[in-house]
Amino acid sequence: MTTKSGGAGAFARFDLNRVPSPCFVVDKAAIERNLAILADVRDRAEVKLLLALKAFSMWSLGDLVGRYLDGTATSGLWEARLAAAHYTGEVATFCAGYKAGDIAEVCALSDHVIFNSPYQHARFAGALRAARQDGAAFDVGLRLNPMHAEGEVAKYDPAQPHSRLGFPADQLETAHLEGVSGLHIHSLCEQDFPPLRRTWEALAPRIAPFLDRIEWLNLGGGHHITRADYQRDDLVAFLKALKAETGLEIYLEPGEAIAFDAGILVGEVIDVIDNGMPVAIVDISATCHMPDVIEAPYRPAMLGEAPEGKGVTVRLGGPSCLAGDIIGDYRFAERPAPGQRIAFLDQAHYSMVKTTTFNGVPLPAIALWDSRDDSLEIVREFGWEQFRDRLS
């Protein structure tokens, strides 16, 4: 995968030494800019937009999100609890496999409980009735696999062959929609508008016979709506036409679009050795702090990297003992020295929610900066207790 970052933006003037290292720094102004763009699309298209917490869960900004969006999309009980505690609006919960011990609370916290298959919905029928008798007010959705792949990386594509995510659309029958109020489709990842159009064109004939049986349609996430080159007017026209054609309430649940180009990950050079090329050990770990670098894989953009063909190329690797803890090769104006600060761009979404303490590597702190007035708050720092308390 290639980074979609549009560049350093306001972070070009941020002093990396103002925060502890490592540290995620999120620009509140950039988050609000993205939220305003999304709200404009929502209002023009007359649809509903939910924040997908799986991509960006900085709950200290929950009130800000609530001023622009209609609620949250959660991925199970714990995210639903987070939504209920720190966000406002609707809660749409989807989980590939609910556990019996969780379903009652999920129903109590959610407005929409979305199942991965009609079989699981049927197995929980009694639990759903009991939850409603106890006062829970929710409807039920069913996730469909559109059977149309658009993903850049197959292992990240929910529509890959033999996918576990979503009920195959070509198997849908009328009986499967008994007690179901809506359909959920999610198969995109950091993409612009044309893949959504193609996905709908492939799916529409399969589900057309069932649309009069449901009330809402959720088109999931993966829409890079806030990216500069996203075709927002085309999206608005498409959504308005879709709503008019189907008569359904339409939902989108972007995650990375809320935090796109809104955060950096600051780190520090610890040591530099020579092994056929300069190799720098930094306190940012690919495996612990940016796992998609290894899993996707992809190369995150570095703040202030020297132009192609200029400077010194240095391999950057993390402090863990994992041999594959390599971030990549980057160009520096001159050989970096211990103590030098670096930063990687567009790290607010997914990186923040995927951090681990493998190998006892410390978690990055979290800071909130506002590029409009240069105010800075260290929102959270983590001690070794977070590592200890995950073990026994």
- The pLDDT assigned to 71 comes to 98
Give yes or no: residues 223 and 356 share one domain.
Answer: no
- Which domain does 371 fall in, by range? 9-25+262-388
Measure the CA–CA gap between 27 and 41, rounded to whole angstroms: 22
Give yes or no: residues 207 and 129 share one domain.
Answer: yes
Strand ranges for the chain from DSSP E: 23-27, 48-52, 71-74, 90-94, 112-115, 139-145, 167-168, 182-185, 216-218, 249-252, 263-274, 278-282, 312-317, 326-332, 341-344, 365-370, 375-380
Report, as ranges of residue numbers, the positions in the chain whose pLDDT lies below 70.
none
Domain closes at, from 244, 259, 274: 259
Residue 272, in any domain of the structure: yes
- The pLDDT assigned to 98 comes to 98
- The pLDDT assigned to 153 comes to 84
Give yes or no: residues 211 and 328 share one domain.
Answer: no
- The pLDDT assigned to 4 comes to 85
Query: How far does the chain reach from its first CA to its final CA, in angstroms?
Result: 37
Give yes or no: residues 225 and 293 share one domain.
Answer: no
- The pLDDT assigned to 255 comes to 95
Residue 305, in any domain of the structure: yes
Measure the CA–CA gap between 173 and 207, rounded to whole angstroms: 9
- The pLDDT assigned to 177 comes to 98
Residue 298, in any domain of the structure: yes
- The pLDDT assigned to 94 comes to 98
Q: What is the pLDDT of residues 287-307, one digit of tens each?
A: 999 999 999 999 999 999 999
- The pLDDT assigned to 152 comes to 82
Domain closes at, from 211, 243, 259: 259
- The pLDDT assigned to 334 comes to 97
Domain closes at, from 259, 294, 316: 259
Domain count, the chain: 2
Give yes or no: residues 138 and 152 share one domain.
Answer: yes
Give yes or no: residues 81 and 151 share one domain.
Answer: yes
Give yes or no: residues 232 and 166 share one domain.
Answer: yes
Give yes or no: residues 214 and 266 share one domain.
Answer: no
Residue 2, in any domain of the structure: no
Give yes or no: residues 218 and 319 share one domain.
Answer: no
Residue 188, CB-side half-sphere exposure with 13 Å CA sphere: 27
Q: Of 176, 160, 159, which is closest to residue 122 (Cα–Cα)?
A: 176
Give yes or no: residues 255 and 266 share one domain.
Answer: no
Measure the CA–CA gap between 167 and 172, rounded to whole angstroms: 8
Measure the CA–CA gap between 188 and 253, rounded to whole angstroms: 11
Give yes or no: residues 328 and 250 share one domain.
Answer: no
Output the domain CATH number for residue 373: 2.40.37.10
Measure the CA–CA gap between 97 and 92, rounded to whole angstroms: 15
Residue 3, in any domain of the structure: no
Output the domain CATH number for residue 204: 3.20.20.10
Give yes or no: residues 309 and 235 share one domain.
Answer: no
Residue 32, in any domain of the structure: no
